[in-house]
């Protein structure tokens, strides 16, 4: 199993000791508090679960700018994106040494974490533009990640945190949400040595399923961790509970026993393409994966990134000593009418576009909404049934 980044062991910031956590919850009610952004809340959940090891909390401005510029914090430590707590107003936080961070995604805004305030710094226009351009490769406000990042506020509150709960993720997704600590433990219990991780924010169709089988076979892996994003998505994306049901059904029916586990993590999608791919690899190493699948337009949106930018960034920008996890570079996969099976399109040079079963996302959504299952060369019928039920429930 791969070792955590920058540490001999995971550094989860969740307070596991029940007595200490109760004391901190009581303390939090007396502290100045701020309702954080959904992104900052998701950062707290990831820090709590050990995914962002060895970070101890939210970055200061110098570290955030360094991560944006060259993926290095001030002390030289590697991290691919800024991890910030940006707020609109700090009037009630002035002079506070410790503050309570309230959850924007749970009714009543309960305390999610306690933060030690090391610094409160104003992020100016030039600094926001630099971070936006470096992380998202665009400043276009239509880009959902850019819009979210620039809408959080301009005051960066930095300092270590103590996480008191995992927001709505462990209550709404009790069978799926797992911390990096828990996934490492399960990998060890299953006796897996070589593990490949698959990232998804969508249901998995036949091509995704076969891509995972290909990766496992070619990498000689013992197991697969299907690791789905459970946090905030852009409008129109399929909700996490529907994806969860569809993916679990696929794994139960079409994967050998003890070959795959379905898990999820509490984070909001950045849609940052190449940089987000590096972040995805970062926390997959921390959860114990030895390999990570990156396909076409990984974590992308619209036409902001080239098809393989999320792969080439590992050659061109990620420092050689930064990551131990290895990348499995995938092309688009589809059913070959010639070969009667799913193939990577770049491995079928004698094929034309007409030799593949290809459906656009728009066409698939139209079919599902009309109660029509895509062909079995595209989607498992059991998965299609779940998605048809979802789309028809929207009418």
Active site residues: 201-202
Structure tokens at 375: 């062909």
Is beta strand 119-122 parallel, antiparallel or unpaired with respect to 98-102? unpaired
For the chain, how long is the longest CA-to-CA vector? 70
Place of tokens 């540490």: 7
Encoding tokens for residue 196? Answer: 């490949």
Q: Are 300 and 174 in contact (CB under 8 A)?
A: no
d(CA 254, CA 260): 10
Question: Is 122:242 a contact under the CB 8 Å cutoff?
Answer: no
Q: CA quadruple 14, 18, 23, 28: dihedral positive or negative?
A: positive
Round to whole Å and give the CA distance between 58 and 53.
12
The one-character DSSP state at 369 is H
The answer for residues whose C-beta is within 8 angstroms of residue 124's C-beta and 6 or more apart is 154
Instruction: Give the integer Cα–Cα distance in Å for 61 and 120.
Output: 9
| CA pair distance 119, 156, nearest whole angstrom | 8
Report whether the peptide linkage leading into residue 54 is cis, meaning its omega lies within 30 degrees of zero: yes
- Say if residues 251 and 228 touch (Cβ distance below 8 Å): no
Residue 371 contacts residue 389 (beta carbons within 8 Å) = no
Residue 362 CB burial class (10 angstroms; 0-12, 13-18, ≥19): exposed
Q: Is the CB of residue 249 less than 8 Å from the CB of residue 213?
A: no
| Closest among 207, 193, 234, 232 to 293, alpha carbons compared | 207
């Amino acid at each position: 199993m791969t070792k955590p980044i920058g540490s001999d062991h995971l550094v989860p910031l969740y307070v596991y000791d029940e007595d200490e956590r109760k004391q901190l919850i009581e303390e939090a009610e007396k502290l100045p508090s701020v309702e954080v952004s959904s992104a900052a809340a998701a950062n707290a959940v990831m820090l709590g679960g050990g995914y962002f090891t060895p970070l101890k909390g939210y970055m200061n401005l110098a570290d955030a700018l360094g991560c944006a510029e060259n993926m290095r914090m001030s002390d030289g430590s590697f991290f691919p994106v800024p991890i910030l707590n940006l707020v609109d107003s700090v009037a009630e936080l002035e002079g506070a040494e410790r503050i309570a961070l309230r959850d924007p995604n749970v009714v009543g805004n309960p305390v999610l974490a306690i933060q030690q305030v090391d610094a409160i710094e104003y992020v100016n226009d030039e600094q926001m533009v630099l971070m936006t351009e470096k992380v998202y490769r665009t400043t276009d406000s239509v880009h959902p990640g850019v819009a979210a990042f620039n809408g959080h506020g301009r005051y960066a509150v930095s300092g270590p945190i103590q996480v008191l709960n995992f927001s709505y993720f462990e209550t709404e997704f009790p069978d799926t949400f797992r911390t990096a600590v828990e996934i490492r433990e399960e990998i060890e219990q299953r006796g897996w040595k070589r593990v490949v991780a698959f990232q998804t924010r969508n249901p998995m169709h036949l091509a995704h399923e076969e891509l995972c089988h290909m990766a496992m076979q070619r990498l000689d892996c013992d197991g697969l961790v299907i690791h789905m994003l459970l946090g905030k998505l852009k409008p129109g994306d399929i909700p996490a509970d529907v994806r969860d049901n569809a993916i679990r059904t696929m794994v139960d029916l079409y994967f050998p026993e003890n070959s795959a586990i379905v898990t999820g993590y509490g984070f909001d999608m950045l849609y940052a393409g190449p940089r987000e791919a590096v972040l995805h690899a970062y926390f997959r190493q921390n959860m114990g994966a030895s390999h990570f699948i990156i396909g076409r337009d990984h974590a992308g949106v619209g036409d902001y990134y080239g098809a393989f930018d999320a792969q080439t960034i590992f050659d061109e920008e990620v420092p050689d000593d930064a990551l131990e996890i290895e990348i499995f570079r995938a092309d688009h996969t589809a059913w070959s009418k010639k070969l009667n099976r799913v193939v990577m399109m770049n491995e079928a040079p004698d094929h034309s576009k007409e030799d593949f079963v290809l459906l656009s996302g728009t066409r698939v959504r139209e079919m599902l909404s009309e109660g029509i299952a895509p062909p079995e060369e595209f989607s498992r019928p059991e998965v299609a049934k779940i998605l048809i039920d979802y789309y028809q429930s929207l009418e």
